[in-house]
Amino acid sequence: MKKVLLSAVVFATSMFAHAQKAPKLETFQDLVKAPIHVSPIESNEKLLGTTIWSDDFSTPANWTVDNSGQTGIDFGWNINNVSDGWWSTAGINSTSGGNYAELVNGDPTAAPATQALNVVYTLTTAAPINVAALGGSNQISLQFKQYGARFNDLQEMFISTNGTTWISVGSNLDKPVLSASGGSAYTNPDNKSLNLAPFLTGAPSQLWVRFQWTTNYPSSATNPNVWITYGWYIDDVKIVTNPTNDLAVTGSDWGSTGLHYYQIPTAQVAPIDFSADIFNGGVNNQSNVKLNVNVNSGAFVGSSAPINIVSLDTVTVSVATQFTPAATVAAYTVTRNITSDSTDDVTANNQLSDIMFNVTNFIYARDNNVVSGSTSNGTSGFETGNLYDIFQDDVVKAINVRLPNGTSGATVGTEIYTKLYSVDPVTGDFVYESESAPLVLAANNLNTNLVVELDPYVNVTAGTTYLAVVGSFTSGLKVSNAGTSPAQTSFLLDGNDITTSTLFYQTSTPYVRLNFDPILGTEEIEQVQQAVIMPNPSNGVAELQFELMNASDVTISVLDVAGKEVQNTAMNQLTSGMHNVVLESTKWNSGVYFVNIASNGTVLTKKFVKK
């Protein structure tokens, strides 16, 4: 396994700042080709004031379509009551029924694929809406129902007060990408509400509304993958007046120096901050607004300093006192809420979910342990993992990973490794520290907390950020994801040499953890004293000898270079001492084989050559 010093990364990061990197482009192999069937669930609709204008597409002439020169029902916007795209056959479940607007762009699953490139599709109200004459002001919101899913496309909403200058007022970039690695389709229907007051100076006598579709990656416009869409469905468009009192949480954060951890070793406990971005979308100014947190039912209670938020302003508030967990193993639940002097008219948009994390003995985890989807890279080798801030000197002995099994999981026989980089505090470069010996995946390595030891161990230093990854030089590796990460804190390296490969950030958190367990290494020395294959190479019978210092179950599995298992021998409750296993090598073809000795959740791999 080659070891590379990563010193030419155009990347700047520290314990307090993480530089921008582009997210990963999804490939055709990432596309979910089978239609997703979503049950019709009415999500909580924002209870605004009076509806002053609405359109349910029953009259298609109320809308102007510009399909960028494309013709046919398979390209651009169409208005009817039939789903015409390749992905969904059911359309949108809207209460009005009848017609709806649908966006399509060819069929990427056809042979050859038919998506159009270099297009911008727009759907615009044909006549302006006279908000002033309808009794409205600038305090209005655009509301509509939608369905679909996001890939590499950009689904955006615009308004104009003169029919010429268009202002972007929202998009669906807040939705996760639906790919073979995870994500989801939108709720059917999904209720979208966009406050237009920040973009209007007064009650407009002319207001046009536009829905626009194009690629989210214009710099990669020649790549057909960036023009794929699952489809976008729109219905029941409304202009409604804003409520009197409406505080909305537009973002929230928690963690130590900007990173949140769901498992924190006792030696890495540090003060935790809590903050929230609060938008006043109501007509009235709001006074005495606070973010409140409560840890373990009163063990810690804190609030931000009370502030006043004028209408249409957004303010970031932070709890005044940091919470520092005790350096003992314990579980924590944090509840959060927003309060003010007024009764909020729309409580659904200022709810904050509970936070649950643990202080552990030795495990440092960014993932939340709720596995959903996986990270892969098609047919190429790659590395993926997370940043970790170190607050006290310690010794990292292993990196724990979880790899999915099943038909869409990691491939048995794939050679993987773990690796640790430090981040240069001056240049931001990733600097190689250590890696594991190669591990050839066996079936029992999948869908479990796999401990892969570094060789050598790494003395990590306080005040330094590290990147822990799992990787492979070939295809077959898939890494479980669990939870979400802030941008530029979890990464995928498209390749295995950061000096020549492309680095992407990902917002799904890979299950890649640091392990400081001091028993690692000493347990291996005590348990498996030695392991040797004799003769090696061999053109006949070979024998594996290994010595156990303590009684345990052992499984011996042998894989060829293609990952096919050619022998599996399970031995239960072996006593301490020497043990021999005959390798069935006389039945094997000439070539290289990997002999895995699995015991107590760890795997020792030996290479064997059949002449």
Q: State pLDDT tens for residues 147-169.
A: 999 999 999 999 999 999 999 99
| Domain-embedded: residue 12 | no
Q: What confidence score (pLDDT) does residue 407 get?
A: 85
**Least confident range of 6-15, 102-111, 223-232, 441-450:** 6-15
Average pLDDT over every residue of 495-509: 85
Q: What is the pLDDT of residue 549?
A: 72
- In sequence order, what DSSP letters do the residues of 48-70 get, joined into one string? -S-EEEEE-SSSGGGEEEE-TT-
d(CA 377, CA 493): 9
- Straight-line distance from the first to the last Cα atom of the chain, in angstroms, rounded to the nearest whole number: 23
Total tally of structural domains belonging to the chain: 4
Query: What whole-number distance in Å separates Cα of residue 229 and Cα of residue 186?
Result: 13
**Model confidence over 388-403: pLDDT tens digits?**
999 999 999 999 999 9
Which residue range is the domain that position 332 belongs to?
Answer: 247-360
> What's residue 480's pLDDT?
96
Q: What is the pLDDT of residues 170-224, one digit of tens each?
A: 999 999 899 887 788 999 999 999 999 999 999 999 999 999 999 999 999 999 9
Q: Are 343 and 206 members of one domain?
A: no
- pLDDT band at 251; cut points 50, 70, 90: very high
| One domain for residues 53 and 122 | yes
**Whole-angstrom distance, CA of residue 467 vs CA of residue 463:** 14
pLDDT at 522: 59
Residue 447 shares a structural domain with residue 565:
no
Q: Which of 16-20, 38-42, 259-263, 403-407 is the most confident on average? A: 259-263
- End of a domain among 199, 226, 241? 241
Q: Is the pLDDT of residue 354 over 50?
A: yes
Tell me: pLDDT of 131 over 90: yes
CATH of residue 324's domain is 2.60.40.10
Q: What is the pLDDT of residue 546?
A: 85
Q: What angle do CA 132, 136, 137 make, to 5 degrees?
A: 85
In a domain, 42, yes or no: no
Q: Please check whether residues 201 and 75 belong to one and the same domain.
A: yes
Q: Residue by residue, what is the 3-state secondary structure of 285-349? A: CEEEEEEEEEECCCCEEEEECCEEECCCCEEEEEECCCECCCCCCEEEEEEEEEECCCCCCCHHH
Write out the two tokens for 414.
Answer: 């794939």
Do 72 and 210 sit in the same domain of this protein? yes
**Whole-number percent of the chain with pLDDT over 90:** 70
Residues with Cβ < 8 Å from 220, sequence gap 6 or more? 25, 226
Going by C-alpha positions, the residue among 331, 333, 152, 122 that lies closest to residue 226 is 152
The Cα 113–Cα 360 span in angstroms is 50
Q: H or E segment at 241?
A: strand 232-241
Q: Do 486 and 534 belong to one domain?
A: no
- Let me know: does 572 contact 553? Beta carbons within 8 Å: yes
Q: What would the mean pLDDT of 471-486 be, rounded to a whole number? A: 94
Please say if the pLDDT value at position 15 is more than 50. no
Round to whole Å and give the CA distance between 148 and 431: 42
Domain boundary among 338, 360, 382: 360
Between 212-216, 290-294, 350-354, 542-546, the lowest mean confidence (pLDDT) is in 542-546
Are 477 and 591 in a shared domain?
Answer: no
One domain, residues 110 and 146: yes
Please say which residue of 485, 515, 545 terminates a domain.
515
β 263-265/355-360 pair status: parallel
Give the per-residue pLDDT at 373: 86
Asked whether 282 and 321 are in contact (CB, 8 A), the reply is: no
Residues 373 and 347 in one domain: no
Answer whether residue 13 is part of any domain. no
Q: Is residue 83 in some structural domain? A: yes
The mean predicted confidence, pLDDT, of the chain is: 90
pLDDT band at 359 (very low <50, low <70, confident <90, very high): very high
Q: Given this model, what pLDDT does residue 605 score? A: 81
Q: Is residue 510 part of a domain?
A: yes
pLDDT at residue 68 tops 50 = yes
From 22-31, 424-433, 443-452, the region with the lowest mean pLDDT: 22-31
Q: What is the CATH number of the domain that holds 389?
A: 2.60.120
More confident residue, 139 or 46: 139
Q: Pick 173 or 498 by higher pLDDT.
A: 173
> Can you give 429-447 as a three-state secondary structure string?
CEEEEEEECCEECCHHHCC
Q: Does 526 map to a domain?
A: yes
Same structural domain for residues 489 and 554?
no
Residue 560: per-residue pLDDT: 84
Q: Are 103 and 76 in contact (CB under 8 A)?
A: yes
Please give the DSSP secondary-structure letter assigned to residue 330.
E
Q: Is 148 within a domain?
A: yes
Of the candidates 158, 163, 156, 148, the one whose C-alpha atom is nearest the C-alpha of residue 218 is 156
Q: Measure the CA–CA gap between 111 and 129, rounded to whole angstroms.
A: 44
* Confidence at residue 77, expressed as pLDDT on a 0 to 100 scale: 98
- Confidence class of residue 526 from pLDDT cuts 50, 70 and 90? low
Which pLDDT score, from 0 to 100, does residue 18 have?
A: 44
Judgement on whether residues 501 and 529 belong to the same structural domain of the protein = no
- Residue 8 in this model has a pLDDT that exceeds 60: no
Same domain, 496 and 382: yes
Peptide bond into 404 cis (omega under 30): no
Give domain status of residue 28, yes or no: no
User: CATH no. for residue 71?
Assistant: 2.60.120.200
Q: Find which of 4-13, 386-395, 439-448, 571-580 is predicted with most confidence, using mean pLDDT.
A: 386-395
The residue to which tokens 């509304």 are assigned: 209
> Token pair 């020497």 is at which residue?
578
pLDDT reported for residue 12: 33
Please give the radius of gyration of the chain, using alpha carbons only, rounded to the nearest integer: 28
Q: What is the pLDDT of residues 260-293, one digit of tens each?
A: 999 999 999 999 999 999 999 999 999 999 999 9
* Pair type for strands 508-510 and 208-215: unpaired
For residue 40, what pLDDT band results from cuts at 50, 70 and 90?
A: low
Q: Tell me, what CATH number does 570's domain have?
A: 2.60.40.2550
Structural contact between residues 80 and 99, judged by C-beta atoms closer than 8 angstroms: yes
